[in-house]
Copies of this chain bind each other. A is one copy, B any other.
Amino acid sequence: MDALDYMAKKAKLVDGEINKWIPPGAKPKVLAKATRHLLEAGGKKIRPALALTAAEAVGGRAGDALEAAAALELLHTFTLIHDDIMDHDEFRRNVKTVHVLWGEPVAIIAGDALFAKVFGAVAANAKRRKMDGLRTAELLEVVSQASFEICQGQAQDMLFETRWDITEEEYMEMVGGKTGALMEAATKVGAMLGGGKSKEVEALAKYGRLIGVAFQIQDDVLGIAGEEKQFGKPIGSDIREGKRTLIVIKALKTAGPKEKKLLLQTLGKPVPKKKLLAAIETLRSLGAINYASRKAESLIKEAKNQLRILPNSDAKAALLAMADFIVKRDF
């Protein structure tokens, strides 16, 4: 069972659905282009794949959650477009970002427009599945709540930029919002639309949030300890940008005065490569990289543990393998 192949196959199912919600011929043209830009540039479509696989894992079919799966990718894409504006990022998925190509106002509107469609698509899914009023409302509430949490996480992350005394608890809360909430919504909504029992829905929701948080932590590990070529962005750019990763938070907490001084002289500064490598070495010698790695592994273990209540199936196996893949991947 190759989890990636399985998930990629599921992800492919949503491409046509996404086109229905954000059609190439929408008016005005610039809005159609700007909303579709990142969607057309690719992306692994992890969230739709999770939603469809979760629907299967509770005994439904992938198609049961099709519109909602597309909606989750629209939601993810909307957050990317707005994040890129805020972070002044110029490239994503190997193409120029929306605000670089069309300016900030169009990028703001394009994100808003994608976000607007999210709820229509989820509602249409519930309608097609003939869900009752209560379940329909709950589905929408899950997506609404996740969207709000993403905003909270993004705001917290922004506030971190002015502080070095962030606690691990604060970090986990921020990442739970920024990355965990949407992964949770994906598996939860998929399980609901697949007709899962309430215990199954809750288990898959927890699984989603846990792998989401693990994904982000592992991302930070790879950003520092990974292979540049495989990871796709320069190693240490997180350090140059002064990103408050779990690694940095742990290191600053553990460090003695001398190490702390070295780290604070490097983090967020345009330092030469030599100094950068020294900082990475410090993070490593303080055990901070290892700590983050093990944290990700333990979250993955907890995530997999959630799935024990599900009957065995290809979908369940794919979700288990997906969880493992998150901490084993090298990109």
Contacts and interface: CB of A to CB of B under 8 A. Distances in A.
Interface string A136-174: 111011011101101110111011000000000000000
Oligomeric state, in copies: 2
Given A127-B134, A133-B127, A133-B130, A140 B119 contact: yes
A123 B141 contact: yes
B148 A116 contact: yes
Interface string A109-141: 111110111111111101100111111111011
Interface string A41-78: 00000000000000000000000000000000000000
A105 B162 CA distance: 14
B28 A116 contact: no
A106 B108 CA distance: 13
A82 interface: yes
Interface string A76-96: 000000100110000000000
Main secondary structure of the interface of A (DSSP, over half): helix
Contacts of A144: 116-121, 123
A117 to B, nearest CB: 6
A30 interface: yes
Contacts of A156: 27-28
Contacts of A127: 133-134, 137-138
Given A31-B151, A31-B152, A116-B144, A158 B123 contact: no
Given A28-B159, A106-B158, A155-B28, A126 B120 contact: no
